[in-house]
Amino acid sequence: MSLDRVLDRIDADLPEATERLLALLRIPSISTDPAYAIECQKAADWLVEDLKSIGFQADKRQTPGHPMVVGHADGPEDKPHLMFYGHYDVQPVDPLDLWDNPPFEPALEDTSAGQVIRGRGSSDDKGQLMTFVEACRAWIAVNGSLPARISLFFEGEEESGSPSLIPFMEENRDELTTDIALICDTGLFESKTPAIITQLRGMSCEDFTITGPDRDLHSGMYGGIAMNPIRILTRILADLHDDTGRITLPGFYDGVEELTDDIRAQWQGLGFDHASFLADVGLKTPAGEEDRMPIEMIWSRPTCDVNGIWGGYTGDGFKTVLPSQASAKVSFRLVGKQDPDAVRDSFRSYLESRLPDGFTVEYRTEKGSPAAQIATENALFEQAREALGEEWGIPAAFAGCGGSIPIAGYFKDILGVDAMLIGFGKDDDNIHSPNEKYDLESFHKGIRSWARILDKLA
């Protein structure tokens, strides 16, 4: 089997591959809006037919929500069995008036940085999903078969919380269990360096209301003698961090692990410019733990942030009251082996211990999720890293991700399968925003990257 011939086929077939992606992008598969349920079915059908056309055994699996697409292709039994995951649903397009062109009339567009594919879902995640499909198409066209056994698993509810995902994975555990899972829903580091995401932060959130007096009070009559719930709340929130940026909750750092020397060296070698990163959003000074690299603050250190705070009168003019209630939303990004339930319990104990007599608190909180830590000792990870470096001409890194991608944890917890997260999105792709785009270079080199990875893993 010749990798060079596969890469040549990818280059020659790029216009046709782009047209196939544009066809998929024209389907408005918005999973959050019931009005687009039929369109989600259409997107699943499109994928099933496309996979069948290149030799996959593929079908649409109905769920209580939007359907899953599952496909399988044979390969040598002595090679690793690979699972590829992506999602075909997309975000809503509001506000529509901020789009330069209709979001579901995708097109190639010339920009100062090169050609881009403009349209909703181009980067998140249809364009990324199709990079793998097109790599398989080229392998089959050149060699008549794939270099390894490959299964495909495409979801239609990722952008709406994946309510059907866990039950489907549990019910189809045997079919979906492979040697490793490949996920293409991430991006290049600083839009130029290929990366394999090996650390994903988890999440614990608290939405709560503190109640003091049984009604709003006149500040002229009660100001000074009555305790103001907003005063209590702001003091509690301010004391969640010390002067060095550390989080003060008892036991909060239990389960937080240090970087290995190898990963630390890789991250230092990336040359992350935190000053430029902050300047892009009008800031200058890092706010995390003073003794940590800025890149650690984003990828491998836990956080505590106040996401919203409200209480009292906020309309025009003044209504001089002491409010009865004050509310806030606080989120914790978790790393390593931090326990979301333990973090929640610690926060609640901390909060309740600081309430004056007669004050109460009410919580409105959903269950949190732990961080995902992927062991890179598996030789397949280093092989994939080498393949990415060969395609992009830059050594690929084992990187962290400040956000959460729950599917990676589900593969491990439900199926016992490690996940390798590789993506080709760029920082300016406007995912979830108007004028979403995917660079043609990302699409092209993404297809070539997967072809190289398949060659290495097989």
Q: Quote the strand ranges of 287-394, DSSP E.
A: 303-311, 321-322, 325-334, 360-363, 372-373
pLDDT at 365: 86
Integer Cα distance of 79 and 149 in angstroms: 7
**What mean pLDDT value characterizes the chain?**
95
One-letter amino acid of 439: D
List pLDDT tens digits, range 404-429.
788 988 999 999 999 999 999 999 99
Radius of gyration of the chain (CA): 25
List pLDDT tens digits, range 241-284.
999 999 999 999 999 999 999 899 999 999 999 999 899 889 99
pLDDT at 312: 95
Q: How far is CA 454 from the centre of its chain?
A: 23
What confidence tier does 372 reach under pLDDT thresholds 50, 70, 90? confident
- Full set of structural domains in the chain with CATH: 3-200+372-457 (3.40.630.10), 202-256+302-363 (3.30.70.360)
pLDDT at 384: 96
**Percentage helix, strand, coil, to 5, in the chain?**
35, 25, 40
Integer Cα distance of 48 and 340 in angstroms: 38
List pLDDT tens digits, range 184-241.
999 999 899 999 998 889 999 999 999 999 999 999 999 999 999 999 999 999 999 9
> What is the percent of the chain with per-residue pLDDT over 90, rounded to a whole number?
89
Question: Mean of the pLDDT values across residues 6-25?
Answer: 98
List pLDDT tens digits, range 89-129.
999 999 999 999 999 999 999 999 999 999 999 999 999 99
pLDDT at 248: 98
